[in-house]
Chains A and B, each alone.
Chain A
Amino acid sequence: MSELPKTYEPAAVEPKWYARWEEAGCFRADAHSAKPAFSIVIPPPNITGILTLGHVLNNTIQDILARRARMQGFEVLWLPGTDHAGVGTQTAVEKHLRKTENKTRHDLGREEFLRRVLDWQDKHGGIIIQQLKRLGCSCDWSRQRYTFDEDYVRAVESVFVDLYGKGLIYRGRRMINWDPSAQTALSDEEVIAKPQKGSLYYVRYEIVEEPGRFLEVATTRPETIMADTGVAIHPGDQRYAGLVGKHAWRPLAREKIPIVADEAIDPKFGTGVLKVTPAHDKIDFEIGQRHQLPVIDVLHPDGKINCPATPELDGLDRFEARKKAAELLQERGLLSKTEPHENNVGFSQRSEVPIEPRLSEQWFLRYPRTKEALDVVRDHLIRFFPSIGKKFTRNGSRTFRIGASAARSGGGIAFRRGIAATKLACNSNRPGPIGTRIRIPWILGFHPGSGPMRRWTRRRGRSFIRHRSSSPRQTSSSSGSRA
């Protein structure tokens, strides 16, 4: 028996024991053990991540459960791994590329960029694993996985294919935040709203069926008029009673567009009449969906106007085009007044230019078995601590969008909503290597660039995997109907 030193020095004790535990294989799970199994699957930290207090909390809890189960006589497997973290890693590598080679990922091309990402992860990844070890986590490191491991990717692909084959994964259109300067999609978190001083333009739309009568529309974006595919009023607005079902002349790229009634219209804003521009505004897109209005996109990805039908504006930058459009309307007697106006405009956190709502084709997953899943929770086959009460069933949103940029980066799928709130789960007293999870991306992360997925898509003679070269702009199926 050695004598305990007078003062306790964690640094002299902790790393020493961790090294011994690892050396003795204390954390290694034996698949042939006669003991009952207890397993936890780590919510894999990002491979390029560094330890945060959140990780400490989360992993200490898992370690407590694992160590307690080990003492209680279970064969414990705490299965560790790291996540390739598509978006985060991509951003880091892009930044590095810009700095060192002054190149973008487009310059390198998809395959080369992917190779660079893997190199990057080899070099910078895995710090967090060392940090988890320092914390004392008793994971079975001999089984450590990475969500970019080949067989792992294959498993994910087969799930993707399976769900696609069942029609549960499909493509659909959706508004994303587009940064015209960086030419990339942004998450909502990367968009900063800033109050901006601008103008409110009062534009006159003549009613087709009643020549000489005009509807006045207040808009901040006259440069997108060519993309209007409808005019909307609130159904209860008496000022415009009887007009629904009639048409208005679109003042630029002149065309008949329908007048519709929609609850989303605020009668108090401007004149109470909204020009509906589904391709360039989130709310307008939804209104357009409700009234089956076509979608016309009049912007290039770099923010320049794409509308040969209006040569005065075609090719102009969106802000120049705004002024020019106002002038055109003025000349034609279709601008009744201009008022100074302050509103919130979303700015890109990266390039600090106003973002552009933009239609993009996205992957969606329609969740199967939601009723059974809810029943499982209702019947307490799965219990929540602390109890979540009825929250779970109320938030039963059944369709989840697969994260925009993540899917495009070819790195992974991220579900933005839904049961991602389930931060930690664990099983107990049951056999089988089934356990804990935190985030869905890891479960359904996929890499479409290789493996059976690609073969599968080729077999079917179509590519539903978006490749880097195809920009998210080839979106609206109705772009051909451009006026």
Chain B
Amino acid sequence: MIIAGLEFKPGKTERLEDNIPFRDVFLTGLIRDKHGVKMSKSKGNSPDPLDLIAKYGADGLRFGLMRIAPSGQDFSFDEKQIEEGRNFATKLWNAARFRQMHGPSEAAPRLDDHALSIYSLEVLARFDELLLAIEAAFREYKFNEVAQRLYDFFWSDYCDWFIEAAKTEIFSADEARKKSVLAVMDFVLSGFLRLLHPFMPHITEELWSVLGLSSGAGGSIQFVSPPQPALSSMDPGMLAEARSKVAKIYETVEAGRNLRASARIPSNKKARFILRPAPGTDAQEVPTIARLLNAEELCLDPKHQAEAGVPLAITPLGELYLLIEAGDQSVERDRLDKEIARLEGELRTVAAKLSNASFVDRAPAAVVQEHRQRKTDFSEQLAQLRKARAAMD
């Protein structure tokens, strides 16, 4: 076609640019079966797409396939991946249903009208990052990367973290807080559906319509402009402060979840925690942390003296204890030993870097400072864990 364009010059002018048929050429890879063999009808190793559509929906098939098809490379097909496409559609559906249970959505929520919680700011910041990331991936025609980013954002950032954290506000008696968080949910959901629409056109249109996210009457999602960044006018210092708070909270939650996992308490079973807070820890966030930990109780006790053998994690918010019946202590002993060994390794690495004169001299001051801070943190955490471990002997 390039040659045909140059030979027959169908363009408006004689200029080269007017007579080339396209600007970008995207090369797809071949789809191979699980064993890496090229698919063909005669080999019988190619599934019928219509069967897949019947099982997982057209959207599930489209999304599942896009997520595993790397730009220009051959790849192996696995029906499991298409199933994940459908599961993603289900996740989206359920999230929309959850939103619907809490009243009608706002078509074009104005975030400026609300005081935004730190969790709201966090999810909006991640949404802005998502916009940049998929814009960059689209520029390179990396459809699989776009799909993966969309998947991760929605599943993890939006559902697992934001919605869970937001429940505190949704169920609170404070109408303003509730309205604020619902507006953020609508804002992100609206933007996300638009980003996802090219990949999953049907379900996004259905949710757009049922949730009433269209500003005009009954407009299709197809002609709505793509979402714009949410926080571009926000003061960066304030945003950074909010995000740092959230980071500490999420890190603490993850540490608590790891404690549960080590103690083999299923994530859906309530557990009891005690937090011996580090200075400056905001008691106001305790209900949210408790929710994220699926804790029956999260006690803030600055004077807590733990018995030997109680599972402990050193978190940015303080010492977090998981209260379980004193049973087999060997499990906790092993866990502490492993954690101590891990921290010792980290400490060695950072100490080695700091003892390297050329690193200290050449690296930006902020980086060196950050390494020093990490060294201090690791040392403190180690001391606490060693103490807990010593108490068990």
> Is B truly associated with A?
yes
Spell out A's residues near B (CB within 8 Å). Answer: 1-4, 6-8, 10-11, 13-14, 17-18, 21, 24, 26, 51-58, 60-61, 63-68, 70-73, 131, 134-136, 138, 159, 162, 367-370, 372-373, 376-377, 381-386, 388, 419, 421-430, 432, 434-437, 440, 443
Partner of B202, one of A2, A14, A426: A14
A382 CB contacts on chain B under 8 angstroms: 2, 20, 22-25
Q: Are A427 and B23 in contact (CB-based, < 8 A)?
A: yes
Q: Are B223 and A426 in contact (CB-based, < 8 A)?
A: no
| Chain A binder among B92-100, B113-121, B350-358, B371-379 | B92-100
A376 CB contacts on chain B under 8 angstroms: 2, 6, 16, 20
Partner of B203, one of A3, A10, A57, A138: A10
A-B contact pairs, 15 of them (CB 8 A): A10-B60, A10-B86, A11-B54, A11-B57, A13-B203, A21-B220, A24-B220, A26-B223, A52-B46, A61-B28, A68-B138, A376-B2, A386-B73, A425-B26, A432-B11
Q: Is B141's CB within 8 Å of the partner chain A?
A: yes
Partner of B201, one of A138, A381, A440: A138
B223 CB contacts on chain A under 8 angstroms: 26, 70-71
B17 CB contacts on chain A under 8 angstroms: 381
Q: Are B89 and A26 in contact (CB-based, < 8 A)?
A: no
Whose C-beta in chain B lies nearest to the C-beta of A60?
B62
- CA of A430 to CA of B46, assembled, Å: 37
**CB-CB under 8 A for A1 and B212, given A131-B50, A381-B20, A384-B25:** yes
**CB-CB under 8 A for A385 and B72, given A376-B16, A423-B28:** yes
Q: Are B49 and A383 in contact (CB-based, < 8 A)?
A: no
A7 CB contacts on chain B under 8 angstroms: 90, 93
**CB-CB under 8 A for A136 and B58, given A1-B210, A55-B49:** yes
**CB-CB under 8 A for A60 and B28, given A4-B97, A376-B16, A376-B20:** no
Q: Is B148's CB within 8 Å of the partner chain A?
A: no
Whose C-beta in chain A lies nearest to the C-beta of B30?
A54
- CA of A150 to CA of B210, assembled, Å: 45
B22 CB contacts on chain A under 8 angstroms: 382, 425-427, 434-437
In the assembled complex, the CB of A158 is this many whole angstroms from the nearest CB of chain B, namely 10
- CA of A192 to CA of B71, assembled, Å: 33
Interface size on B, residues (CB 8 A): 79
Q: Is B331's CB within 8 Å of the partner chain A?
A: no
Q: Are A10 and B201 in contact (CB-based, < 8 A)?
A: no
Q: Are B65 and A60 in contact (CB-based, < 8 A)?
A: yes
**CB-CB under 8 A for A3 and B100, given A53-B39, A385-B25:** yes
Q: Is B83's CB within 8 Å of the partner chain A?
A: no
**CB-CB under 8 A for A443 and B201, given A10-B89, A51-B49, A425-B24:** no
Q: Are A10 and B97 in contact (CB-based, < 8 A)?
A: no
In the assembled complex, the CB of A339 is this many whole angstroms from the nearest CB of chain B, namely 37
Can you list, as one digit per residue, whether each of B49-87 has a CB less than 8 Å from chain A (1) or not (0)?
Answer: 110011011111110011001011100010000000010
A-B contact count (CB 8 A): 229
Q: Are B24 and A17 in contact (CB-based, < 8 A)?
A: no
Q: Are B23 and A428 in contact (CB-based, < 8 A)?
A: yes
A2 CB contacts on chain B under 8 angstroms: 210
- CA of A197 to CA of B146, assembled, Å: 56
Q: Are B23 and A430 in contact (CB-based, < 8 A)?
A: yes
- CA of A13 to CA of B210, assembled, Å: 11
Q: Are A64 and B66 in contact (CB-based, < 8 A)?
A: yes
Partner of A136, one of B25, B202, B226: B202
B203 CB contacts on chain A under 8 angstroms: 8, 10, 13-14
Chain B interface SS verdict (over half): helix
In the assembled complex, the CB of A21 is this many whole angstroms from the nearest CB of chain B, namely 7
B97 CB contacts on chain A under 8 angstroms: 4, 6
- CA of A12 to CA of B304, assembled, Å: 56
In the assembled complex, the CB of B66 is this many whole angstroms from the nearest CB of chain A, namely 6
In the assembled complex, the CB of B28 is this many whole angstroms from the nearest CB of chain A, namely 5
Q: Is B328's CB within 8 Å of the partner chain A?
A: no
**CB-CB under 8 A for A432 and B50, given A135-B62, A376-B6:** no
A159 CB contacts on chain B under 8 angstroms: 4, 8
**CB-CB under 8 A for A71 and B226, given A56-B49, A61-B28, A136-B59:** yes
Whose C-beta in chain B lies nearest to the C-beta of A131?
B50
Q: Is B211's CB within 8 Å of the partner chain A?
A: yes
Partner of B206, one of A13, A52, A131: A13
In the assembled complex, the CB of B79 is this many whole angstroms from the nearest CB of chain A, namely 11
- CA of A419 to CA of B1, assembled, Å: 9
- CA of A68 to CA of B207, assembled, Å: 18
* Residue of B20, B25, B104, B202 with highest tally of chain A CB at under 10 A: B25
A14 CB contacts on chain B under 8 angstroms: 57-59, 202-203
Q: Are B202 and A388 in contact (CB-based, < 8 A)?
A: no
- CA of A24 to CA of B223, assembled, Å: 13
Can you list, as one digit per residue, whether each of B8-49 has a CB less than 8 Å from chain A (1) or not (0)?
Answer: 101110001100111111111011000000010100001111
- CA of A370 to CA of B12, assembled, Å: 22
Q: Is B3's CB within 8 Å of the partner chain A?
A: yes
Q: Are B65 and A57 in contact (CB-based, < 8 A)?
A: yes
Partner of B4, one of A136, A430, A443: A443
A56 CB contacts on chain B under 8 angstroms: 49, 61-62, 65
Q: Are B3 and A368 in contact (CB-based, < 8 A)?
A: yes
A370 CB contacts on chain B under 8 angstroms: 3
Whose C-beta in chain A lies nearest to the C-beta of B199?
A64
In the assembled complex, the CB of B216 is this many whole angstroms from the nearest CB of chain A, namely 14
Q: Is B244's CB within 8 Å of the partner chain A?
A: no
A63 CB contacts on chain B under 8 angstroms: 62, 198, 201
- CA of A383 to CA of B207, assembled, Å: 37
A388 CB contacts on chain B under 8 angstroms: 27
Q: Are A422 and B49 in contact (CB-based, < 8 A)?
A: no
- CA of A134 to CA of B57, assembled, Å: 9
Q: Are B202 and A13 in contact (CB-based, < 8 A)?
A: yes
In the assembled complex, the CB of A201 is this many whole angstroms from the nearest CB of chain B, namely 37
- CA of A26 to CA of B108, assembled, Å: 23
- CA of A68 to CA of B21, assembled, Å: 20
- CA of A363 to CA of B294, assembled, Å: 74
